[in-house]
Structure 1
Amino acid sequence: MQEDIKTRLVEVAGELFGERGYEAVGVREICQQATANVAAVNYHFGDKRGLYVACLRHAQSCRVDDLLLPLPADMPAAEKLRHFIRGMLESKLDPTRPQWHLELMLREMGRPTDACSEIVEDYIRPMAESLAEIMQGLLPGDQWNRQTWMIGFSIIAQVLFYHVNQPVVRLLMGPDGFETLSLDVITDHITRFSLAAIGQGPPVDRNDPSDVAAPQSHK
């Protein structure tokens, strides 16, 4: 019963925080919508900030555990990169994920609160370090410098584009073109594009016979 209340508080608060931001949402409103006593917030989370952090953790941690598992030592680095990209896409594009996960994280990343550093250290940095280890098998030299950081950011940015900009992609490509963007198609493209960019794969061939999507125009 207590876990049900705790879960309801996170779900309701996460949606409200995602819509309006931390400052604009009160504990009483959250508890009314979650059909919970105001004291439940203090009991489960300590205070409103604790509840907010719990919402961020819930939104960020969804389906990312597999990305942090060690991969077989004999797996080629390029295949490790593909595994990482696929895992991120599966997490971000999971159709069962509530919309507030995206809205809350976009709000927090765009206008960070003091909770941002906790989320970075507990969730984002471990993922970055996992990608860094993969990239060390693909890039010459042992130093993780500014250039390798930027390469890593570029890979992550490609994944996040398909997560954040789905409505725009659907409008540009049209419904039929959008439906061709399966997890496999996006994973393969980001992997091939990234490997080509760092000189570890052939140039991307835009003359793919299976590619039938054309730009959509409403002019």
Structure 2
Amino acid sequence: MISSDPTPPAAEPRKQRADGAEARLLLLHAALRLFAEKGFAKTSTREIALAAGANLAAISYYFGDKAGLYRAAFTEPMGCTESDLTLLDQPDLSLRQSLHGFMANFLAPMKQGELVQQCTRLHFREMLEPTGVWAEEIDNGIKPAHAALVALLGRRLGLPQADDGLHRLAFSITGLAVQLFVTRDIVQAIRPRLLDPEGIDAWLDQMVNYAEAMVNIEAAQRSAAPAQASLPPHSNASQAAA
């Protein structure tokens, strides 16, 4: 049974050789599949190297150690959140442009097919058998991206400070994309063409429409709230009765 203690700090990997990109990728994909199937503790570096057709020493050369390989398999195929932060912090972009860029980065891994499903399974396994990597991802990736989205929405809605409603809006917008990762198996069984690259692009445009509508609804509700609060008590009672 895997320990709940964090994985040991990864050793610093050596600089990758120019001709080593393919070998590194083979190791990364083999590790992702095996870690998703068996977890960190029950997967040996020897079987990863064997599955990748690589020398065992290649793992330390490219990733430092097993912990470094696990971190790379957990994070790299899903992309980097740094580009999200950049997109969400550009005042010259319209709301739609910002949301489109954010959603496009979020959905890009979906075009990798089975690879992204292995990533999702590894994330689920990490939640059940924590090594500490998921907690790191929340602190170093998800929290900053969420804060940037909340800041963007706050600027668009003219709010000087984020409240619970603004956080709910941000989580709801992100949830549009998250649900696709979680339900990929179901979508594949019911409507597989929706997961084709063209289908993902169409889904992207639809999600941006939904997200933009959610922001507009939030703005309308916030505009109506002060007016509703300013009505005399008998007016509120009459409206409730109606």
Root-mean-square deviation (CA), in Å? 3.1
Give the equivalent residue in structure 2 for 1:6. Answer: 24
Moved over 6 A (4+): 175-180
Q: 1:195 aligns with which of 196, 200, 215?
A: 215
**Judging changes above 3 Å, is the alpha-carbon distance between structure 1 residues 11 and 175 closer, same or farther for their aligned structure 2 residues?**
closer
TM-score normalised per structure 1: 0.72
Contact 1:88-1:159 within 8 A present in 2 as well: yes
SS at match of 2:219: coil
Give the equivalent residue in structure 2 for 1:15. Answer: 33
User: What amino acid is aligned across from residue 191 of structure 1 in structure 2?
Assistant: E
Give the equivalent residue in structure 1 for 2:240. Answer: none
Return the offset for 1:61. Answer: 1.8
Between the aligned partners of 1:14 and 1:41, the Cα distance in structure 2 is 13
Give the equivalent residue in structure 1 for 2:177. Answer: 159
Q: Which runs of 5+ in 1 are unaligned?
A: 202-219
Return the offset for 1:55. Answer: 0.9
Contact 2:74-2:123 within 8 A present in 1 as well: yes
Return the offset for 1:33. Answer: 0.8
Between the aligned partners of 1:169 and 1:22, the Cα distance in structure 2 is 28
Q: 1:29 aligns with which of 47, 54, 59?
A: 47
Q: 2:204 aligns with which of 178, 183, 188?
A: 183
Contact 1:41-1:47 within 8 A present in 2 as well: yes
Return the offset for 1:189. Answer: 2.5
Q: Deviations over 1:52-96 (max 9, x none)?
A: 01111212326x55423346423333542344234323x243245
- Give the % identical residues: 25
Q: 2:160 aligns with which of 142, 152, 155?
A: 142
Between the aligned partners of 1:51 and 1:105, the Cα distance in structure 2 is 15
**Judging changes above 3 Å, is the alpha-carbon distance between structure 1 residues 195 and 110 closer, same or farther for their aligned structure 2 residues?**
farther
Between the aligned partners of 1:165 and 1:107, the Cα distance in structure 2 is 16
Is 1:68 equivalent to 2:85 in the alignment? Answer: yes
Pair member with larger Rg: 2
User: What amino acid is aligned across from residue 39 of structure 1 in structure 2?
Assistant: A
Give the equivalent residue in structure 2 for 1:87. Answer: 105
Q: Which runs of 5+ in 2 are unaligned?
A: 1-18, 222-242
Return the offset for 1:130. Answer: 2.5
**Judging changes above 3 Å, is the alpha-carbon distance between structure 1 residues 46 and 177 closer, same or farther for their aligned structure 2 residues?**
closer
Count the aligned residue pairs: 197
TM-score normalised per structure 2: 0.66
Within 5 Å, give how 1:168-179 maps onto structure 2.
Answer: 168-169=186-187
